């Protein structure tokens, strides 16, 4: 006998499929630790504020840790796993090696949380909350972080090498890299605004300051003394030279003036589709803050491990 699906049945099936797809996100909750570890958020914030007070640049480093975690198989703290004789993690991937930092801050926060609430707070959640608290600590927006992620028991060096956007990408490649994770071009521009804080190594912007024409001449000249055409790859320059220690919209103002530090930065304002969004954020910092916070929540929801998946690591650097 033939089965006839009514339009209501089809809608019901569609709704069920949507719920199944969304279930991991639905299992995250902003009050996840309210009973199991009520001082969790306070403890993370205190650790972040202490680290940022000691070194303001650490705010950018902790934010970047969360980003590099989430873009590789989801927000599961895989980026924190150390290599062992039988395991290769993500720390030696091209985008991470000699670049990611702040691991000891996460270690310290985790140690305190294990004393308070053993086996309760995941390393993945620590990364997500630390990113938010780091942004807020240097003048950026605050948002409620959905919690309840669990930690992976594996990592992917290959995915870290392929999925994390590169500082030499053209605009079309940037749009594709973020689209592959479910982000719109507008969200990509908003998330790129994270570069309003932090520093970059000479190796990732040397070609731009010596070989690209769409760079403000005196800006390029000012960078060459710290980044010679041949020499150390590791000398640092602020990505936002205007207000390097403050989370604001100066990054976008710099792009309009052709003062983007990296090739991928200036691609956001290069006579193409994202120019209007950069201009909007230049004129409306509140819109940038709102869009950035919204995009960060979405990023934190990338393929989280929930329920009985993964584990709660007692040491963020190794599986239990």
CA-wise closest residue to 97 among 123, 79, 85: 79
The answer for residues whose C-beta is within 8 angstroms of residue 140's C-beta and 6 or more apart is 247, 248, 289, 292
To the question of whether residue 104 is assigned a binding role by annotation, the answer is no
To the question of whether residue 74 is assigned a binding role by annotation, the answer is yes
68: its two tokens: 């590099």
To the question of whether residue 294 is assigned a binding role by annotation, the answer is no
CA-wise closest residue to 143 among 300, 249, 284: 300
Produce one character per residue of 296-319: b if its CB has 16 or more CB atoms within 10 Å, e if not. Answer: bbbbbbbbbbbeeebbbbeebbeb
What is d(CA 312, CA 310) in angstroms, rounded to the nearest whole number? 7
The answer for residues whose C-beta is within 8 angstroms of residue 151's C-beta and 6 or more apart is 76, 77, 122, 123, 124, 305, 310, 311, 312, 313, 316, 319
To the question of whether residue 240 is assigned a binding role by annotation, the answer is yes
To the question of whether residue 76 is assigned a binding role by annotation, the answer is yes
To the question of whether residue 248 is assigned a binding role by annotation, the answer is yes
To the question of whether residue 69 is assigned a binding role by annotation, the answer is yes
CA-wise closest residue to 220 among 205, 232, 233, 230: 205
**SS3 at position 293:** helix
What is d(CA 50, CA 42) in angstroms, rounded to the nearest whole number? 12
Catalytic site positions: 68
Produce one character per residue of 41-51: b if its CB has 16 or more CB atoms within 10 Å, e if not. Answer: bebbbebbeeb
Residue with tokens 């975690």: 69
What is d(CA 292, CA 133) in angstroms, rounded to the nearest whole number? 14
To the question of whether residue 72 is assigned a binding role by annotation, the answer is yes
To the question of whether residue 82 is assigned a binding role by annotation, the answer is no
To the question of whether residue 165 is assigned a binding role by annotation, the answer is yes
Produce one character per residue of 194-203: b if its CB has 16 or more CB atoms within 10 Å, e if not. Answer: bbbbbbbbbe
What is d(CA 194, CA 63) in angstroms, rounded to the nearest whole number? 8
Binding site feature residues for heme b: 195
Known binding-site residues equal 69, 72, 74, 76, 78, 90, 165, 195-196, 240, 243, 248
As annotated, the binding site for substrate includes 165
**What are the binding residues for Ca(2+)?**
69, 72, 74, 76, 78, 90, 196, 240, 243, 248
């Amino acid at each position: 006998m033939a089965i006839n699906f009514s339009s209501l049945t089809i809608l019901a099936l569609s709704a069920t499929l949507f719920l199944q797809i969304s279930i991991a996100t639905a299992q995250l909750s902003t009050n996840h630790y309210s009973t199991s570890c009520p001082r969790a958020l306070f403890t993370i914030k205190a650790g972040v504020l202490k680290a940022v007070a000691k070194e303001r640049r650490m705010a950018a480093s902790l934010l970047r840790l969360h980003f590099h975690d989430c873009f590789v198989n989801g927000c599961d703290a895989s980026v924190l796993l150390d290599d062992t004789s039988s395991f290769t993690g993500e720390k030696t991937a091209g985008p991470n090696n000699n670049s990611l930092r702040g691991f000891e801050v996460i270690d310290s926060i985790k140690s305190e949380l294990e004393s308070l609430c053993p086996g309760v707070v995941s390393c993945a959640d620590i990364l997500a909350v630390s990113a938010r608290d780091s942004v807020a600590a240097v003048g950026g927006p605050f948002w409620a972080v959905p919690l309840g992620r669990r930690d992976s028991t594996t990592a992917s060096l290959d995915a870290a090498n392929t999925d994390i956007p590169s500082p030499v990408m053209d605009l079309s490649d940037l749009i594709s890299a973020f689209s592959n994770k479910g982000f719109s071009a507008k969200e990509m521009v908003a998330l790129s605004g994270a570069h309003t804080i932090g520093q970059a190594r000479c190796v990732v912007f040397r070609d731009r300051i010596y070989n690209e024409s769409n760079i403000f001449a005196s800006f390029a000249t000012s960078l060459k003394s710290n980044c010679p055409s041949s020499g150390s790859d590791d000398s640092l320059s602020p990505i936002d030279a205007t207000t390097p220690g403050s989370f604001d919209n100066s990054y976008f103002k710099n792009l309009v003036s052709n003062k983007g530090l990296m090739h991928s930065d200036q691609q956001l304002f290069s006579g193409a589709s994202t120019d209007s969004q950069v201009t909007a954020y230049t004129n409306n910092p509140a819109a940038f803050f709102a869009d950035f916070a919204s995009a960060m929540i979405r990023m934190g929801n990338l393929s989280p491990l929930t329920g009985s998946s993964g584990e709660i690591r007692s040491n963020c650097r190794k599986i239990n």
